Structure 1
Amino acid sequence: MTRHKIFDMTFASIYPLYLAKVERKGHTREELDRVLTWLTGLDAHSLRAAQSSDMTLEEFFANAPALNPNAELITGVICGIRVEDIEDPLMQKIRYMDKLVDEVARGKKMSSILRGS
């Protein structure tokens, strides 16, 4: 299986891009952090630590306590691919995260983004 370059990107390099995207659309860091903690099971302190470390996305998800059980309810297209059809578990988690960030930026209701949680 081909190793994707995105696996080795740092969370610290991705987070500012996510933040800029949601803020550009009139949303907040708190909304972004809420969906990221919901997805990963990380607390706010651990999320902040990941933002200032050289942790890769692979390490970020490996160190996350647990993927939210409702993450499998995340569906739709990101980068032209249906997230529910992605076979590589790590790539699917990364694309789940991308999808949630897109939903925050689009102004979707938080209860919908968090799949009823």
Structure 2
Amino acid sequence: MSTTSDHDNRMAKLTFASVYPHYLTKVERKGRSREELHQVIRWLTGFDDKALQKQIDDNVTFKQFFQRAKLNPNAHLITGVICGYRIEEIETPLTQKVRYMDKLVDELAKGRKMEKILRSE
């Protein structure tokens, strides 16, 4: 599935620090914890709590965020629709990675079991 270049550019320029509070609010409102959110982010990106806080403090864009991340080798197992896009069909790598994150946060907020969220083959 093709996203527009405007959409892809917006994704690249968004700062992680501006979106993180929304992720946190979303999961906490549904009874999940900050620690669970960090576990999901750590699984996807390899960032521990200290490294994650550095990304927030540095006000990095999603482009920089995912350049610094070590994407989990099982990230390709994240499938489904998020924000109207089928994740596995998104052609722009950065946009796909941002949507991976969105999907994991959604699954956490919806009460999915952590073993299912943290995919393994």
| TM-score in same-fold range (> 0.5) | yes
Q: Could you say which TM-score interval applies, normalised by the shorter chain?
A: over 0.9
Q: Which runs of 5+ in 1 are unaligned?
A: none
- Normalised to the residue count of structure 1, the TM-score between the two structures is 0.94
Runs of 4+ residues over 3 Å off in structure 1: none
Q: CA shift at 1:44, angstroms?
A: 1.6
Q: How does 1:1-117 map to 2 (within 5 A)?
A: 2=5, 3-64=8-69, 66-116=70-120
What secondary structure does 1:4 align onto? helix
Q: Which amino acid aligns with 1:107?
A: G
Q: CA RMSD in A?
A: 1.4
Find the aligned partners of 1:7 and 1:116 in 2 and give their Cα distance. 28
* Same amino acid, percent of matched pairs: 57
Find the aligned partners of 2:15 and 2:85 in 1 and give their Cα distance. 22
Query: Higher RCO, 1 or 2 (CA under 8 Å, sep at least 6)?
Result: 2
Q: CA shift at 1:50, angstroms?
A: 1.1
Q: Which runs of 5+ in 2 are unaligned?
A: none
- Normalised to the residue count of structure 2, the TM-score between the two structures is 0.91
